[in-house]
Amino acid sequence: MIENTALALLPVLTVLLVSVFTKRALLGLFAGTIVGAILLGGWGFFDTLVSTFGASLSNETVHWLALVVVLFGILIAYFNVSGAVSDFAKWTERFVNSRRKSLVLTWLLTVALFIDDYLNALTVGTSMKRVTDRYGVPRTLLGSIVKLTSAPIAVIIPFSTWAVFFAALLEQDGVTVNGSGFGAYVQGLPFVFFGWFALIIGLLLALGVLPLVGPLRREQLRVDRTEDTLPEGLTPEERAFELADSDTEGRRPLPYNFLIPIITLVTVTILTEVDIVKGSAAAVVVAIILYLAQKRMRIRDVFEQAFEGIMSMGYVIILFVLAFMVQQINTDLKLAEWVIGATEPVMHGALLPAIVFLVCGVYAYATGAFWDLAAVITPVVLPLAIAVGVDPVLAGTAVFSGAALGSTTCLYGDGIILASKSVGVKPLNLMLSILPYAATAGVLSFIAYLIAGFAMAS
């Protein structure tokens, strides 16, 4: 078995190259698993492939994510058949009467749902795509603003799922303020540079201050020409699902048909210690009761639309399974250990925070491992920071910023997959649209960590 060598990078490079050149994320992930299985199993690579596939299917996180996206698929199908989303879009006309306002509202909603990046990515994309469609906003631009905001706000607000996890890592490794890892995390919030820069860039993009560049500019020109906000490359079935709507012509828009299930989703999620599965299930139940009582759905529609919603999420579930296969292969090849070993010689002195951020960001982008990355590298980085006279809180924030960078950009990360599904685009299109802006935030963060490293070195 090949491990602890640069060859461990091959599966990741295969995924990225095949995905970009073929514009098929599924094909790229499958190719990466084949290459990884060959590296691990040699001539017995098929057995390795099957065992990795089995490990991915039995992964509790995959089960949890599949349940979340299935429930969201059902909820979105109910929204469509009942006209709830179109009602919400019509209702917003009294507040939103311009392209800029529609995008700023998108940014604000993503910030408001800071509790978890899955929650805001799925909810905001679903609720705002019909609103922004009215003003010729490409779905990739909508998704970019959501994704540039979702993980960054979750890592900045200390009461999110991200903050709770990262604070526990700090405490576990003995880095505390007033006796708690939470206190250390709060002290480090000003230094979560990627979160702050990405958040600001997302707002400036929504305000129209930043120009559209690269794929976003090309997509905007296409939308201006064709008046079609849905991207090219969608199947007829995908386009039909995105544009599906019930006949609500002449009917008074009822925004609470959308808002009540969403408020239920958020409230139950928070009250159940951020359990999105319970929140989503509660929202589905409330939607069924609400729409049946108003006769916007029939009993038959409850079952038919549930099936439609589940089927619409099939692509996402397959992506998740393949993504976790790649992550498992990276673990078996000991990619994290190789990256740490290769970069540890330069992780010293005032340069350490910047190098840690760079390594974590690149690794998270390449592998789709974010919390896993933090759990692996934090116990290495914090003692190293103490040993070389660097503030361990600053070094920890560099790890967390790198994880947020990866979540914001990784093609096969769960954040990109969920956000792309919520706005109705392909993960590759969304990743390529986000990259110029996330890279800008990354470069600014690297410079900020350099300055902070030298300024705070003892």
Distance in angstroms (rounded) separating the CA atoms of residues 324 and 340: 21
Structure confidence at residue 270 (pLDDT): 80
Max mean pLDDT among 241-245, 388-392, 404-408 falls in 404-408
Distance in angstroms (rounded) separating the CA atoms of residues 162 and 182: 12
- 51 HSE (CA, 13 A, CB side): 12
Least confident of 127-141, 265-279, 340-354, 401-415: 340-354
Distance in angstroms (rounded) separating the CA atoms of residues 300 and 291: 12
Does position 251 have pLDDT exceeding 70, yes or no? no
Q: pLDDT for 300-335, tens place per residue?
A: 989 998 998 888 778 778 877 887 888 788 888 887
Distance in angstroms (rounded) separating the CA atoms of residues 393 and 154: 18
Q: pTM for the complete prediction?
A: 0.79
Contact 28, 19 (CB under 8 A): yes
List residues bridging with 227 in a β-sheet.
Answer: none
Q: pLDDT for 421-437, tens place per residue?
A: 889 898 989 999 999 99
Max mean pLDDT among 23-27, 247-251, 312-316, 361-365 falls in 361-365
User: For the residues 116-133, what does the mean pLDDT come to?
Assistant: 84
* Per-residue H/E/C for 283-340: HHHHHHHHHHHCCCCCHHHHHHHHHHHHHHCHHHHHHHHHHHHHHHHHHHCCHHHHHH
339: amino acid identity, one letter: V
Contact 396, 170 (CB under 8 A): yes
Q: pLDDT for 51-80, tens place per residue?
A: 988 888 888 878 887 888 888 889 888 887
Q: Is 180 helix (H, G, I), strand (E, B) or coil?
A: strand
Task: Print burial letters for 345-375: b (CB count within 10 Å at least 16), e (below 16).
Answer: eebeebbbbbbbbbbbbbbbbbbbbbbbbbb
As a whole number, the mean pLDDT across the chain is 85
Structure confidence at residue 3 (pLDDT): 53
Q: What percent of the chain has pLDDT over 70?
A: 93
Structure confidence at residue 126 (pLDDT): 83
List residues bridging with 180 in a β-sheet.
Answer: 177
Query: Encoding tokens for residue 57?
Result: 């299917």
Structure confidence at residue 243 (pLDDT): 67
